[in-house]
Structure 1
Amino acid sequence: MNGDWLICGRDGRLSVYLPSGDAVLCRAERWPGGPWDAARRVGGEQRLHPVLAVGQGADRYAHLVSWRPTKPGESGLVHSTHFRPRLAALDWNPVGHPNKSGDRTGTPAVAVDAEGRAHLFVRNKGGGLSMLGQKEKGGWGPWRDLKGRDVQEVPAAVTGESGRVEAYAAVPDGILYWRQEEPGAVPVLQEAVEAAVRPGTLRALATSAGSTTLFFVDDTGDLCAWRPGDKPVPLLAAAGHGPVAAVRCALDGYDCTLLAQRSASGRVAFAAYPTEQETAGAWWTESGPQLPADAGVALTTDADGRVVAAALSPSTGRLFLTRRKAEPGLALEAWREV
């Protein structure tokens, strides 16, 4: 899974998305803070490959992207919009292939601009990054080759506080960064920086009016932060091997960035620091039960603005959840399986 698979919907309910066999499933709260419904299939009966990208716009709608088999040896991308967790999502809509035809080229990423238009990013057959964007009055524009070489499989897409879409991708010994120069424009390659990135660890977050921050694990095992225009800085040693989850939240009146990662011990590790102040330092605190090796971790804030953390194992379908307590610091409720 790529993106924020734990989200708070327009109606205040939390929901999670996960690939399962040849389908994507959704689980949602019956009401904000209430019990959870059983998993439901999303987007109709279309058979899918086990890959999923999720993005959410300011309107709180979820945009889902996956690959589907089309004929032997070939696949195409599909998109669905889920307006509210308790409603059925739209059927999967074919949106094509970055090279017109062929097999899967990489894991997609999706971000949604201020006007609610989804932007889909995926590596193309030539090793660059391609993008497909929704048009203002419906439908999709043409595929755009954003260039780049030897792009790794899992890019990161993010919408800045300006409402414009940005994308990051790792390449051998570096990171590439694209940004829309105006709303609705094709993102342009803006910057490249030297960095040795562990594959599959990119996570981007809007952190101020003018900046997004990319988090990644480098080849020495450090969790690093990079804002374009500067150099990457090591924040702390990674707790584990997979990607981190990140969310901005208010802790004791301060604007903080909270990070979470499945640790080497199998539990969830948390670290927080003042947003964009990496020099303040951060340290991990572990919480919750031991999780399967394939478990992912996600963060969001609920309808009351409280931090929510989820851990989900695709192989078992088991979902664990915790919320921040209504007290100072980052005290969490006991983890519970839902």
Structure 2
Amino acid sequence: MNGEWLVRGRDGRLCVYLTSDDAVLCRAEHTPGGAWDPPREVGGDQKVHPVLAVGRGADTYAHLVSWRPTVPGQAVLVHSTHFRPLLAALDWAPAGHPDTKGDRTGVPAVAVDAQGRAHVFVARAGTGLAMVAQKEKGGWDPWRDLGGPDVQGTPVAVAGESGRVEAYAAVPGGLQHWRQDRPGTPPVLGEALETPVRAGTLRALATSPEHTMLYYTDDSGDLCAWRPGGKPVALLAAAGPGPVAAVRCELDGHDCTLLAQRSSSGRVAFAAYPTEEEGAGAWWTESGPQLPADAEVSLARDHEDRVVAVSLSASSGRLLVTRRKDEPGLALTAWREV
């Protein structure tokens, strides 16, 4: 799954999106902060591949993107909007293929601009990154080749607080950044960063009206933060493989960025630091039980603006949840299975 797949809906309920063999499922709180309903299928009865990108708009609607098989050896990207956790999501609608037709080209990424339009990004063999965006009155604009070097691994997309959409990708020898000059225009190829980066470790987060932040793991195992226009900062050693989860929250009256990652020990590790003050330092604190190797972690804020962390294992099907207590610091409740 690509993006933060734990989402708070407009009604305050939390919803988790997950994949099965041929469908996307969601589990939602029955009431904000209450018990969770059983998983149910979203997007209608169309079969999709077990891949999912999730983006959340400023209107709190969740945008879901997956690949749907068509004929043997071919697939098309499909999109669905989920307005509220307990409502049915819209049926999957085709968004096309960056090469008109063909097989899957990579894991997609999705970001939602200030007008609520989804922007879908996917690697295009040999030509970097491709994008398709929703029209204001329905349908999709033509696919655009955004250029750039070959994309390695999964790109990530994010909408800044200004509503402008940005994308990042690992490329040979470093990272590449694309950004809209103004809302409603195609993102353009921007700054490149020469750095050793492990593909599959990228996570992007909006950190201010002007900036977004990219987190990635370099070849030495350090978790790094890069804000285009500046130099990357090594925050601390990555707790484990894969991308971190990230959310902005208030801790003891300060605007902080909270990171979470399944650690090499199998538990969930948390680290926090003042937002956009990477030099302040951060350190990991582990929490909860040991998790299977395929467990993923996601972060959000609930209806009371408390940080919530969830872990999900595809092999075991276990969904574990913890919340911040009403105490100073980052005190968490005991992890519980839902």
One fold, TM greater than 0.5?
Answer: yes
* 1:155 counterpart SS class: strand
5+ residue gaps, structure 1, are none
In the TM superposition, 1:105-254 aligns within 5 A as 105-254=105-254
Deviation by residue 1:268-321 (Cα, 9 ceiling, x = unmatched): 000000011111100000001111111100000011110000000122221000
Extract structure 1 runs of 4+ deviating beyond 2 A. none
Deviation by residue 1:198-237 (Cα, 9 ceiling, x = unmatched): 1111000011121001000111100000000011110000
Deviation by residue 1:231-252 (Cα, 9 ceiling, x = unmatched): 1110000000111000000000
Over the aligned positions, Cα root-mean-square deviation in angstroms equals 0.7
Matched, 1:308 2:311: no
The TM-score with structure 1 as length reference comes to 0.99
Quick one: distance in 1 between partners of 2:99 and 2:312?
33
5+ residue gaps, structure 2, are none
* 2:152 counterpart SS class: coil
Deviation by residue 1:11-59 (Cα, 9 ceiling, x = unmatched): 0000000111101000000010010000000111111111000000010
* 2:154 counterpart SS class: coil
Matched, 1:267 2:272: no
Matched, 1:29 2:33: no
Letter in 2 for 1:107: V
* 1:242 counterpart SS class: coil
Deviation by residue 1:151-181 (Cα, 9 ceiling, x = unmatched): 1130010010101100001101110001111
Give 1:326's aligned residue: 326
Quick one: distance in 2 between partners of 1:104 and 1:36?
33
Quick one: distance in 1 between partners of 2:171 and 2:127?
10
Give 2:290's aligned residue: 290
* 2:279 counterpart SS class: helix
Post-superposition offset of 1:196? 1.1
8 Å Cα contact 2:125/2:150 also seen in 1: no
Matched, 1:48 2:70: no
Post-superposition offset of 1:125? 2.3
Give the % identical residues. Answer: 74
Letter in 2 for 1:209: P
The TM-score with structure 2 as length reference comes to 0.99
8 Å Cα contact 1:99/1:125 also seen in 2: no
8 Å Cα contact 2:127/2:145 also seen in 1: no
Post-superposition offset of 1:127? 4.0
Quick one: distance in 2 between partners of 1:318 and 1:77?
28
Quick one: distance in 2 between partners of 1:196 and 1:165?
25
How many residue pairs were aligned?
Answer: 338
Give 1:71's aligned residue: 71
Letter in 2 for 1:57: G
Post-superposition offset of 1:126? 2.3
8 Å Cα contact 1:13/1:28 also seen in 2: yes
Quick one: distance in 2 between partners of 1:127 and 1:11?
42
Quick one: distance in 1 between partners of 2:58 and 2:270?
26
8 Å Cα contact 2:119/2:134 also seen in 1: yes
Quick one: distance in 2 between partners of 1:300 and 1:65?
20
